[in-house]
Structure 1
Amino acid sequence: MSKYKPYLAMICVHSIYAGMALLTKAALNQGMNHFVFVVYRQAMAAAFLVPIALVFERKKASLLSFQLFCKASLVSLVGITLSLNLYMIAISYTSATLATATTNIVPVFTFILAVLFRMEIFSIRTTYGKLKIVGLVSCLGGGVILALYKGPSIRFLGHHQASIKGVGDAPASGHEPSMRDWIIGTFLMLSSNLTWSFWLLMQAPLLKVYPFKLSLTSLQCLLSALQSALVAFAFERKASAWRLSFDIKLLSVIYCGVIVTGVTYWLQVWCVAKKGPVFTAIFTPLSLVITIIFSCFLFGDLFYAGSGLGSIFMAVGLYCVLWGKNGEENQRHDDEVISREEAC
Structure 2
Amino acid sequence: MGYLDGKWAPLIMITVINTINGMVNALIKKVLDGGINHMVIATYRLGISTLFLLPIAYFWERKTRPKLTTSISCQHFFSALFGYTSATLATAFWGTLPALTFIMALIFGSWMLIQAKINVSYPCPYSSTVILSVFGTLQCAILSFIKTRHVEDWILGDKLTIFTVIIAGVIGQGMCTVGISWCIKQRGPVFTAAFSPVTLMSATVFDFVILHRMIYVGR
TM class by smaller structure: 0.7 to 0.9
Please tell me the residue identity of whatever aligns with 2:207. S
Pair 1:67-2:71 in alignment? yes
1:25 and 2:29 matched: yes
Aligned match of 1:49: 53
Report the CA distance between 1:29 and its aligned residue. Answer: 0.8
Distance 1:279 1:71 in 2: 21
Unaligned stretches of 5+ in structure 2?
Answer: none
Counterpart code for 1:231: L
The equivalences for 1:86-125 within 5 A come to 86-87=90-91, 89-91=92-94
Partner Cα distance (1:55, 1:90) in 2: 40
User: Which residue matches 2:146?
Assistant: 234
- Corresponding residue for residue 14 of structure 1: 18
- 1:83 equivalent to 2:62? Answer no
Aligned length: 212
> What secondary structure, in the 3-state scheme, does the structure 2 residue paired with 1:90 have?
coil
Q: What residue in structure 2 maps to residue 251 of structure 1?
A: 163
Q: Which residue of 2 aligns with 1:217?
A: 129
1:121-270 paired onto structure 2 within 5 Å: 182-184=95-97, 186-268=98-180
How far has the Cα of 1:267 moved from its partner? 4.2
Note the C-alpha offset of 1:286. Answer: 2.8
Deviation of residue 57 (structure 1)? Answer: 1.3
Partners of 1:26 and 1:248 within 8 A in 2: no
Cα distance change of structure 1 residues 240 and 189 upon mapping to structure 2, 3 Å threshold = farther
Measured in 2, the distance between the counterparts of 1:62 and 1:10 equals: 26
* Deviation string, structure 1 residues 136-190 (Cα, Å, up to 9, x no partner): xxxxxxxxxxxxxxxxxxxxxxxxxxxxxxxxxxxxxxxxxxxxxx342x53454
Mapped to 1, the partners of 2:207 and 2:126 lie a distance apart of 34
Could you list the per-position Cα deviations for residues 230-276 of structure 1 after superposition, in whole angstroms to 9, with x for gaps in the alignment?
A: 110001110110012342221221121111123323444566677x3
Over 3 Å counting, the alpha-carbon distance change for 1:40 and 1:17 in structure 2 is: same
Deviation at 1:13, TM superposition (A): 2.0
Give the share of equivalent positions with the same residue, in percent. Answer: 27
Tell me if structure 2 keeps the 8 A contact 1:80–1:224: yes
What's the Cα RMSD here? 2.8
Q: Is this contact kept in 2: 1:86–1:189, CA < 8 A?
A: no
**Distance in structure 2 (CA, Å) of the matches to 1:75 and 1:269:** 12
What amino acid maps onto 1:207 in structure 2?
N
Quick one: distance in 2 between partners of 1:78 and 1:225? 13
TM-score, with length taken from structure 2: 0.81
Distance 1:193 1:253 in 2: 24
Helix, strand or coil: the match of 1:61? coil
TM-score by length of 1: 0.54
Secondary structure, aligned partner of 2:177 = helix
Preserved contact between residue 81 and residue 228 of structure 1 (Cα < 8 Å): yes
- 2:39 counterpart letter in structure 1: F
Q: Note if contact 1:30-1:249 (Cα within 8 Å) is conserved in structure 2.
A: no
Q: Is 2:50–2:174's contact at 8 Å kept on the other side of the alignment?
A: no
User: Hey, what's the Cα distance between the residues in 2 that align with 1:271 and 1:74?
Assistant: 20
